[in-house]
Structure 1
Amino acid sequence: MLEGKNVVLGVCGSIAAYKSALLVRLLVKAGANVQVVMTADASNFITPLTLSTLSKNPVLTEYFVPETGEWNNHVELGLWADLMLIAPISANTLAKLAGGLTDNLLTAVYLSAKCPVYFAPAMDLDMWKHPSTKTNVQALQGFGNIMIAPGSGELASGLHGEGRMAEPEEIIEFLTADIKKKLPLVNTKALVTAGPTHEAIDPVRFIGNNSSGKMGFAIADELARLGADVTLVTGPTAQHSQQHSIKRVDVTSAAEMLSACQQYYTDADICIMSAAVADYTPTTVATQKIKKQDGSVLTIETKKTTDILKYLGDHKTDTQILVGFALETNNEEQNAIAKLKSKNLDFIVLNSLSDAGAGFAVDTNKITIIDRALHSTIFELKSKEDVAKDICNKVIALRIK
């Protein structure tokens, strides 16, 4: 859920600031872009160099840096962030944010932020229990900010009780769960196929096609970003998922792809079949490499593969959404509509090899979506990532009908 997110991490003056080093590491590991903003007091507990090294970005502490003449624009930082996390937040900064004071860069960024803001308090027991602190917490929550509650345990003063900042792992779990529950496809399972299949002729040769898998991987990534639990069944490809939560199942042949789809389809709420599955496979596979013979003709007898999309359409339930692709070279819309009907699809994604920038092994695509009512929506040439968004938006629209 944090992949690609721009995160402003605010660090305040607290002994718990030492935990921010691990917090930065976990955010970066989760795929987030992290910009640390520290108060002046925070640098007494952990050095900016440490957090700069871990975040791979300079740590910001002041509006203006005399040594370089640079101005750190709090408005730009607030607009850049997809989420802001202040961990630890001290009693002092809690009071400032509740009152709207902006005497440092961190508080100014907070007031400029248009994104969700999370705060993880850290202070001693008596400070945490004080009525003024409770009032400030309630004020921040009343503004729509989200508290990651402190834990209970031994405190720096020697007291035992509430006030310990939540552990970095707990904070990441909290952020992930909170982001996910707001997404449109949360609690949804999706099955996506991608790439080509390779049908063996002998141990070193195969029948295949030029599919790179880029479109299917982009769709799987977008579904995961929208909160779905995604299983990606892929043929041989060099592509990699951007979303760490995706379950990848590697297959080679059409028969293996069918078997994987049969395994995961029953539980799937959404199935998007973008793989370029071979229509034919050799009847027999040579156990040894076939040697070239001068003047001879090599004849390979083939048989039809099982039509995976038709199998899924025949076993589709009323609650499942099934999407297919049609890559055509002639009579494009007519062929796509025939496939839509015969495979029992909710909609079909049509693209044509006659369209420049569409097809295999390129980073763009130009599609037409045709639904059950035979309504066609034509999209302009876009990146495959943006095409994936258009396809997923259509899926969401069908689910909320």
Structure 2
Amino acid sequence: MNGRTILLIVGGGIAAYKTLDLLRELRRAGARVLPVLTEGGARFVTPLSLSALAEERVRTSLWDLEDEATMGHIALSRAANLILVCPATADLMARAAAGMADDLATTLLLATDTPVMMAPAMNVRMWQHAATSANVATLRARGMHVIEPATGAMACGETGPGRLPDVPDLMRAVAAHFAHGPLAGRHVLVTAGPTHEPIDPVRFIANRSSGKQGFAIAAALAAAGARVSLVAGPVALPTPRGVDRIDVETAAEMAAAVARTLPADAAVMVAAVADWRVDAATAKIKKGAAPPALSLVENADILAGLAVHPQRPQLLIGFAAETGDLLEKAKAKRARKGVDWLVANDVAQGVFGTESNHVHLLTAAGTEDWGPASKAAIADRLVARIVETLAE
């Protein structure tokens, strides 16, 4: 990050004290740091401390006559290579998600086209609250990188996710942002896992997808420098480092999340989306003399819809899980869906939940048998081909 400029927005939380060490390490790494101190942040650290460590003037107000005579907040919002919000409190993220501009920090976030990284820090229940989850999803969908908080003991005495990551972890996140990979500057959408279509409050229609192949692809894309938006169905997998994750449950939720992530340079649609849904009962369906009749309704085709979308990605890749006549079905699906590439595998071989796979890649040039391999190796090989194609 040597020679880069980072606009550091310090939010109002007890974790603000860590920003002093973070600022020092950013400077040691060669970055120029422009500090912005919120009103809440000033209750935990002083402008003098930030200024001494940054060797820069600390901005605190939207109403500075000298700065705003020349629209200083606009220039400041675009003067950096990265805007880092640390700590990002629940309140600050909520106001950013709502598009508010009632102080210098939120005005900067609204007026910028610079990449934004947020490092949340708050009480565990605040982090897990539905409102915060919705705000985080909104920010990620708009392209902001929201770092997952650390888990551990907090100043309030509770334990769980919500701690500001330690300074070395924050430094690694910033370094990863500036890493010069072959996909640096590219945005790639990935979908992974199954969808769950409710039948009643305790039952649902689903499939056996574990999400492992999609998560491996998302990790490989991030390692190649891409900004990755991962729309994940219900899976018990950790978020790959450097990936913005959007959790969904149903096919309708996945379709909406995919639309919100556009535009993207490429899309790798690995998710096994349920083909049908039902009008879910509001109460548990009790066992009776005869099983209930379920009226199935076809879900929207997310992949085919993306192929004709006005913001269609430059490279659109679909996946096909079949159980027999693999290549014939895959060729027909590639044509029917309107995708550029199709990755096909025979799931009758027992690949669900395993660490390996056997896929074929179908393109306009023909079909390639990639043979048995680990899902991580398949992800690396696919990403290498994506790099070559986008470079062209």
TM tier, smaller: 0.5 to 0.7
State the SS of the aligned residue for 1:231.
Answer: strand
Structure 1 residue ranges (4+ consecutive) displaced by more than 4 angstroms after TM superposition? 167-175, 316-319
1:388 maps to a residue whose letter is A
Shift of 1:173: 7.7
Shift of 1:316: 5.9
Instruction: Indicate conservation of the 8 Å contact 2:269/2:303, yes or no.
Output: yes
Root-mean-square deviation (Å)? 2.9
Residue number among 304, 317, 322 corresponding to 1:323 in the alignment: 317
State the SS of the aligned residue for 1:241.
Answer: coil
Structure 2 equivalent of residue 352 of structure 1: 346
Residue number among 276, 279, 287 corresponding to 2:275 in the alignment: 279
Instruction: Indicate conservation of the 8 Å contact 1:345/1:372, yes or no.
Output: no
* Count of residue correspondences: 234
Tell me how far apart the structure 2 counterparts of residues 314 and 235 of structure 1 sit (CA, whole Å).
23
Structure 1 equivalent of residue 7 of structure 2: none
Tell me how far apart the structure 2 counterparts of residues 345 and 318 of structure 1 sit (CA, whole Å).
10
Question: Structure 2 matches for 1:27-46, cutoff 5 A?
Answer: none
Residue number among 253, 264, 272 corresponding to 1:268 in the alignment: 264
Question: Structure 2 matches for 1:225-236, cutoff 5 A?
Answer: 225-236=223-234
Instruction: Indicate conservation of the 8 Å contact 2:185/2:227, yes or no.
Output: yes
Instruction: Indicate conservation of the 8 Å contact 2:218/2:240, yes or no.
Output: no
Structure 2 residue runs of 5 or longer lacking an equivalent are 2-20, 30-166
Shift of 1:354: 3.7
Structure 2 equivalent of residue 371 of structure 1: 363
2:284 maps to a residue whose letter is K
- The answer to whether structure 1 residue 292 and structure 2 residue 287 are counterparts is yes
Q: Deviations over 1:49-78 (max 9, x none)?
A: xxxxxxxxxxxxxxxxxxxxxxxxxxxxxx
TM-score normalised to the size of structure 2? 0.55
Tell me how far apart the structure 1 counterparts of residues 351 and 223 of structure 2 sit (CA, whole Å).
24
Q: Deviations over 1:125-182 (max 9, x none)?
A: xxxxxxxxxxxxxxxxxxxxxxxxxxxxxxxxxxxxxxxxxx989976885455x22x
State the SS of the aligned residue for 2:246.
Answer: strand
Instruction: Indicate conservation of the 8 Å contact 1:192/1:272, yes or no.
Output: yes
Instruction: Indicate conservation of the 8 Å contact 1:363/1:384, yes or no.
Output: yes
Tell me how far apart the structure 2 counterparts of residues 174 and 297 of structure 1 sit (CA, whole Å).
55
Distance 1:291 1:319, change over 3 A: closer
Tell me how far apart the structure 2 counterparts of residues 305 and 169 of structure 1 sit (CA, whole Å).
41
Distance 1:300 1:307, change over 3 A: same
- The answer to whether structure 1 residue 224 and structure 2 residue 222 are counterparts is yes
Distance 1:218 1:316, change over 3 A: farther
Shift of 1:400: 2.0
Instruction: Indicate conservation of the 8 Å contact 1:203/1:286, yes or no.
Output: yes
Instruction: Indicate conservation of the 8 Å contact 1:327/1:359, yes or no.
Output: no
Instruction: Indicate conservation of the 8 Å contact 1:233/1:248, yes or no.
Output: yes
Distance 1:315 1:389, change over 3 A: same
Tell me how far apart the structure 2 counterparts of residues 318 and 254 of structure 1 sit (CA, whole Å).
19
Question: Structure 2 matches for 1:86-101, cutoff 5 A?
Answer: none
Shift of 1:334: 1.1
Tell me how far apart the structure 2 counterparts of residues 204 and 250 of structure 1 sit (CA, whole Å).
20
Decide which structure has the larger Cα Rg and report it. 1
Structure 2 equivalent of residue 341 of structure 1: 335
Distance 1:224 1:331, change over 3 A: same
State the SS of the aligned residue for 2:200.
Answer: coil
Instruction: Indicate conservation of the 8 Å contact 1:340/1:372, yes or no.
Output: no
Distance 1:222 1:299, change over 3 A: same
State the SS of the aligned residue for 1:201.
Answer: strand
Tell me how far apart the structure 2 counterparts of residues 170 and 196 of structure 1 sit (CA, whole Å).
32
Structure 2 equivalent of residue 46 of structure 1: none
Shift of 1:299: 1.3
Instruction: Indicate conservation of the 8 Å contact 2:187/2:265, yes or no.
Output: yes
Tell me how far apart the structure 2 counterparts of residues 258 and 280 of structure 1 sit (CA, whole Å).
14
1:363 maps to a residue whose letter is E
Identity percentage over the alignment?
Answer: 37
Instruction: Indicate conservation of the 8 Å contact 2:220/2:383, yes or no.
Output: yes
